[in-house]
Amino acid sequence: MSEIDQYAVFGSPIKHSKSPRIHQLFAEQTQQVMQYTALLVPADKFDLELKGFFAKGGRGLNCTVPLKELAWESAEIRTERAELAKAVNTLLVQKDGRILGDNTDGIGLVTDLQDNHGIELKQKRVLILGAGGASRGIILPILEESPASITIANRTVEKALTLADEFSHKGSVVGSSYADLAGQNFDLILNATSASLSDELPPLASGILAEQGSCYDLAYANKPTAFVRWAREQQASKSLDGLGMLVEQAAEAFYLWRNVRPDTAPVIQMLEAERNS
C-alpha cells in the first residue's frame, strides 16, 4: 500500500456517501496526510475485503449499511458503547495489532444536539421512535447524559420492550406501542425509524411533544423529511435532521484514528449550503 495512511468506508450502496468529502475536509483543515476512499462492499464480500484492507496496511475503516453488524462481529475488541449497540461503524488497528471496533453514531448525535444546537439531555424526557439498529446505537450515549427517562416506541411493540430491557440496567428506559404514547409528552423526540427513507411517518398522535420541545430525525435528505415536516406542524422549538450527526460521528472517528479533533462547524455549514443550493 502507498506511503499515505489509508482509510475507507465500506457499504452498499456507497455512491452517495458524504464520508470521503467530510474526511477530506477534516484532513485539509488539520493538515493530516491521509487518503479516504469509498468502496462498494456487499455483505457477502465483507470478510474478504476487510482482511485485504488491513493486510495491505489500511489504518482505519468506517462501515455503513448493511455492514455494521458484521463489523461488530469482526472486531477483535470493542468499546462498551459498540458492545451494547451490537453494531460497529468505526474500526482501527491498535498498537498491539488488534482491530478495535467502536460505534461513534450515538456520540455524534449527542454532540450535535448539545454542542451544535444547545439541546441539553439532562433531566429531559426523551422519546425514541423505532427499535432497530439505529435506535440501539444511540441509547447508551444518551443515557450517559442523565435524561429523566427514555421511552422507545415501535410498531412491533415486542421489539421496543426487548430493547428497553437490554438497557434498563443503565438507566430509566421503557418500551411502548405508538398508541400508548397518547396522553404523555416528551421534551425531545428522536426519529430512529427507517420510515424517512420512504418519506413515511410513524403513527404519532398530536400533543406528545412538550411545549418548547424539539425533534430530531437521524436520517437526512435534501428536502425536509416527513418527520421534520411533522415536527414543524407541532411547532417544535427545533426541527432538525441528521446531517450534523453525520459530520459529528465522522469527527469522532477521525479523532480515534488521528488523535486530532477537527472543527466540525465549517464542514456542517458547507454541506448545509450545498444541499440548499
> According to the binding rule CB under 6 A, does residue 155 interact with ligand ATR?
yes
> According to the binding rule CB under 6 A, does residue 236 interact with ligand ATR?
no
Give the span between the Cα atoms of 173 and 184, in whole angstroms: 15
Catalytic residue among 15, 18, 51, 68: 68
Stretch that binds ligand ATR, among 51-59, 116-124, 130-138, 249-257 (CB under 6 A): 130-138
In the chain, which residue ranges form alpha helices assigned H by DSSP? 19-30, 46-55, 68-74, 80-85, 105-111, 117, 133-143, 157-167, 226-233, 243-258, 265-276
- Which secondary-structure segment (H or E) carries 16? none
Q: Which is nearer to ligand ATR, 174 or 260 (CB)?
A: 174
- Smallest distance, ligand ATR to C-beta of residue 261, A: 28
Which residues, 6 or more positions from 190, have their beta carbon under 8 angstroms from its beta carbon? Answer: 109, 126, 127, 128, 129, 138, 215, 216, 217, 218
Q: Which is nearer to ligand ATR, 34 or 134 (CB)?
A: 134
Find the binder of ligand ATR among 133, 141, 147, 175 (CB under 6 A).
133
Omega prior to 202 cis, within 30 of 0: no
> According to the binding rule CB under 6 A, does residue 170 interact with ligand ATR?
no
Stretch that binds ligand ATR, among 153-161, 166-174, 224-232, 254-262 (CB under 6 A): 153-161
Rg of the chain over CA atoms, in angstroms?
19
CB-hemisphere CA count at 13 Å for 20?
15
> According to the binding rule CB under 6 A, does residue 194 interact with ligand ATR?
yes
Q: Which is nearer to ligand ATR, 88 or 267 (CB)?
A: 88
Number of residues that bind ligand ATR (CB under 6 A): 14
- Smallest distance, ligand ATR to C-beta of residue 244, A: 18
> Which residue do the cell numbers 443550493 mark?
277
89 to each of 12, 81, 233, 277, how far by Cα in Å?
A: 14, 11, 33, 30
51 tagged catalytic = no
- Joined together, the cell numbers standing for residue 76 give 477483535
> According to the binding rule CB under 6 A, does residue 20 interact with ligand ATR?
no
What are the residue numbers of the active site? 68
Q: Which residues bind ligand ATR (CB under 6 A)?
A: 130-134, 154-156, 159, 193-195, 200, 202
